[in-house]
Amino acid sequence: MTTHRRAVLAAAAATLAAATGARAAIEGPIAATRYGRVRGVEVDGIKVFKGVRYGADTAPRRFRPALPPEPWTGVADALAYGPASPQLKTAEAVSEDCLFLNVWTPALDGKKRPVMVYVHGGAHASGSGSDPLYNGVRMARRGDVVVVTVNHRLNVFGYCYLAELGGPDLADSGNVGNLDLVMALEWVRDNIAAFGGDPGNVTAFGQSGGGAKVVTLMAMPVAKGLFHKAATMSGQHVTAMGPIHATIRARTFMEALGLRPDQVDVLRALPAERLVAALKTPDPLERKGSILFWSVMDGGVLPRHPFYPDAPRQSAQIPMIIGNTHDETRAFLGGDPRNFALTWEELPQRLGPELVLDVAPRQVIARYRELYPHYTPSEVFFAATTAGRSWPGHLIQAEQRARIGAPAWMYQLDFGSPLDGGKLRAFHSFDIALVFDNLGAPGSKTGTGPAARAVARQMSEAFLAFARTGDPNCAAIPAWGKYELPKRATMVFDETSMMVDDPRREERELFAVAPFLKEGT
Q: Is residue 52 part of a domain?
A: no
Task: Look at residues 463, 460, 164 and name the one whose alpha carbon lies nearest to residue 321.
Answer: 463
Q: What is the DSSP string of 465-507?
A: HHHHHS----TTSS------TTT-EEEEESSS-EEEESTTHHH
Instruction: Report the CATH number at residue 362.
Output: 3.40.50.1820
Q: Is residue 333 part of a domain?
A: yes
Which residues are registered as beta bridge partners of 355?
Answer: none
3-class secondary structure, 402: helix
Read off the pLDDT of residues 263-297 as tens digits, 9 standing for 90 and up.
999 999 999 999 999 999 999 999 789 999 999 99
Q: Name residues whose C-beta falls within 8 Å of residue 345's C-beta, 6 or more positions apart in sequence.
A: none
Cα separation, 206 vs 483, in Å, equals 20
Q: What burial letters (b/e) apply to 491-511, b meaning 16+ CB within 10 Å?
A: bbbbeebeebeebbeebeebb
Conformational region of residue 423, where left means phi above 0, alpha means psi within -120 to 50, and beta covers everything else: alpha
3-class secondary structure, 158: helix
Which residue spans within 145-196 are E strands per DSSP?
Answer: 146-150
* The pLDDT of residue 26: 58
Q: What is the DSSP string of 231-289?
A: EEES---S--B-HHHHHHHHHHHHHHTT--TT-HHHHHHS-HHHHHHGGGSBPSSSSSS
Q: Is residue 278 part of a domain?
A: no
Q: Is residue 354 part of a domain?
A: yes
- Per DSSP bridges, beta strands 320-325 and 408-413 are parallel
Q: Please provide the average confidence, as pLDDT, over all residues in the chain.
A: 93
Residue-range definition of the domain harbouring residue 398: 318-511
**Annotated active-site positions, please?**
208, 328, 428
| Amino acid in the structure at residue 107 | A
Say what the alpha-carbon torsion angle 171, 125, 429, 66 is, to the nearest 10 degrees.
50
Cα separation, 383 vs 354, in Å, equals 11
Q: Is residue 401 part of a domain?
A: yes
Helix axes 377-385, 361-371, angle to 10 degrees: 110
| pLDDT, one tens digit for every residue, the chain (521 residues) | 443 434 434 444 444 334 334 344 458 999 999 999 999 999 999 999 999 999 999 999 999 999 999 999 999 999 999 999 999 988 899 999 999 999 999 999 989 999 999 999 999 999 999 999 999 999 999 999 999 999 999 999 999 999 999 989 999 999 999 999 999 999 999 999 999 999 999 999 999 999 999 999 999 999 999 999 999 999 888 999 999 999 999 999 999 999 999 999 999 999 999 999 999 999 999 978 999 999 999 999 999 999 999 999 999 999 999 999 999 999 999 999 999 999 999 999 999 999 999 999 999 999 999 999 999 999 999 999 999 999 999 999 999 999 999 999 999 999 999 998 899 999 999 999 999 999 999 999 999 999 999 999 999 999 999 999 999 999 999 999 999 999 999 999 999 999 999 999 999 999 999 988 877 77
Q: Is residue 422 part of a domain?
A: yes
Q: Is residue 151 part of a domain?
A: no
Q: In what order do the strands lie in the sheet with 41-43?
A: 41-43, 46-53, 100-105, 146-150, 113-119, 197-207, 229-233, 320-325, 408-413, 489-493, 498-501
Read off the pLDDT of residues 16-57 as tens digits, 9 standing for 90 and up.
334 334 344 458 999 999 999 999 999 999 999 999 999 999
Q: Is residue 433 part of a domain?
A: yes
* The pLDDT of residue 15: 40
Contact present, 84 and 127 (Cβ < 8 Å): yes
3-class secondary structure, 229: strand
Cα separation, 400 vs 310, in Å, equals 6
Q: Looking at the 3D structure of the chain, how many domains does it have?
A: 1
